[in-house]
Every structure is written in C-alpha cells, then in structure tokens.
C-alpha cells in the first residue's frame, strides 16, 4: 500500500532539442531507403513528428526524456501515521526532489504551504520501472493534513539535464526513431509493420510499473 503523486503539472520543459534527429528517422524509414534525396518532409519530421513521438513516449511510459520540472500532488490525503507507508512518484528518470509541501491541518486558507525539509524524509532509489519513493521520518508522524484536494505536493526534476542524451539507452533511441519512421512511412503509403514488435517490447520494458501502484 502506498500514496501516489498521481496529479501532475509541468512547470517547465526544455524542447530545444530531442534525443533523435532527422537523420535517425530517415535511417529507419523504408520510404527514405527508396527516396534518399527527398527533403520535402524534413520540416514535417523535425517540427511535428519527432516532438509528437517524444511526447507520446513520456505520456505512455512515464519515463521522462526532456529536461522537465514537475509539480505533483497526492489528490486526497489527510493523515499519515507510518514511516513505512511510501509516497510514490508517478514518473521515471527523476533526477532530484526539489521540495515537499503541504497545508497544515489547522491552517486558515489562503495560506502558504509548509515545507518538509530533506532532514525529515528519505527517498528510495529508482530501480528499472519502479519509481522513486519518499518516506517521511518517524519524528514527523503522525502527520495531519488539511483536507483539501491536491494538498500534499512534491516538486522534482526529471529527464536528462540540459537535454544531454549521451547516456540514454540506444535501445530507446532506436525505438523512438523507428516509431517516427512509421509515421512517415504510413503517410507516404508504406504500411510495413516491421518495427511494431520491437517498439512494443521497448515500451513494455521501460514503462512505469503500474501493477505496483495502489492509490489509497
């Protein structure tokens, strides 16, 4: 059992660059194997296809690629009484937790949220598709929280800092390029499903382990 930061809001997202390029997409495309000199689709691929594929990947897998600051909330929570009950993040590839805040039980709204400093919580490591979890220190418990939706909030940084993708798995890069090439190929009348099994496997391998999450 655990609490889940399931409601999320993007504070900032660096879209200045992406983990795959125009050449990566063309290299996977069956259309461009037959038409290597065609540059009429370049803007379409760079301005629409690649950003859309990256966004779809992040939305589907919850594995964040672009340098992103996120604010996330536990929708409904009023009481925490065990330091063994984790607060689970809802994204993968989280770099750091920036803040943890809440309205105190006896607060008069509107008010400023109280910040729980890092000395009063610990975090578990993100392991494969299991997200990072926050554990409140026993000295803070039991913790009563003002009964308003989206009270308990966590701000964190995810994705690759400054969009430097040098350590991103080649498997993910190949998957994204293959998926983008399929969009182009279908548009051009090439309906080969050669990459479907590979794309499906990579998505499955890197998607957040929802089976481990229970919202309470």
Number of domains in the chain: 2
Verify that 56 and 78 share a domain, yes or no: no
Please report whether residue 4 resides in a domain.
no
Please report whether residue 9 resides in a domain.
no
Please report whether residue 14 resides in a domain.
no
Instruction: Examine the pLDDT at 196 and tell me if it is beyond 50.
Output: yes
Verify that 76 and 157 share a domain, yes or no: yes
Q: What are 149-164's pLDDT values in tens digits? A: 899 999 999 999 999 9
**Average confidence (pLDDT) over 13-22:** 98
Domain that holds residue 24: 19-65+165-212
Verify that 128 and 208 share a domain, yes or no: no
Confidence band of 215 (pLDDT split at 50, 70, 90): very low
At which of 122, 146, 162 does a domain end? Answer: 162
pTM listed for this prediction: 0.91
Please report whether residue 10 resides in a domain.
no
Verify that 85 and 154 share a domain, yes or no: yes
Please report whether residue 52 resides in a domain.
yes
Return the higher-pLDDT residue of 41 and 194: 41
Verify that 86 and 146 share a domain, yes or no: yes
Q: What are 47-98's pLDDT values in tens digits? A: 999 999 999 999 999 999 999 999 999 988 888 887 777 899 999 999 999 9
Residue 116 · residue 137 · CB < 8 Å: no
Please report whether residue 55 resides in a domain.
yes
Verify that 55 and 88 share a domain, yes or no: no
Write down the pLDDT at residue 214.
43
Closest CA to 185 of 28, 43, 20: 28
């Amino acid at each position: 059992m655990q609490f889940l930061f399931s409601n999320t809001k993007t504070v900032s997202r660096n879209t200045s660059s992406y983990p795959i390029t125009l050449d990566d997409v063309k290299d996977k495309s069956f259309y461009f194997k037959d038409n290597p000199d065609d540059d009429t689709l370049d803007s379409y691929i760079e301005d629409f296809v690649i950003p859309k594929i990256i966004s779809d990947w992040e939305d589907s897998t919850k594995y964040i690629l672009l340098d992103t600051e996120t604010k996330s909330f536990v929708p409904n929570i009023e009481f925490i009484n065990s330091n063994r009950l984790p607060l689970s993040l809802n994204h993968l590839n989280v770099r750091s937790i920036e803040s943890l805040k809440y309205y105190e039980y006896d607060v008069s709204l509107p008010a400023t949220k109280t910040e729980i400093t890092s000395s009063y919580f610990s975090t578990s490591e993100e392991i494969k598709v299991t997200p990072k979890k926050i554990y409140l220190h026993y000295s803070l418990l039991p913790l009563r929280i003002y009964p308003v939706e989206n009270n308990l909030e966590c701000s964190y940084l995810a994705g690759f800092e400054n969009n430097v993708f040098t350590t991103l798995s080649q498997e993910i890069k190949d998957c994204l390029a293959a998926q983008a090439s399929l969009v182009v190929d279908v548009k051009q009348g090439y309906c080969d499903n050669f990459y479907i099994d590979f794309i499906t496997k990579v998505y499955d391998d890197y998607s957040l382990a929802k089976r481990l999450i229970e919202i309470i």
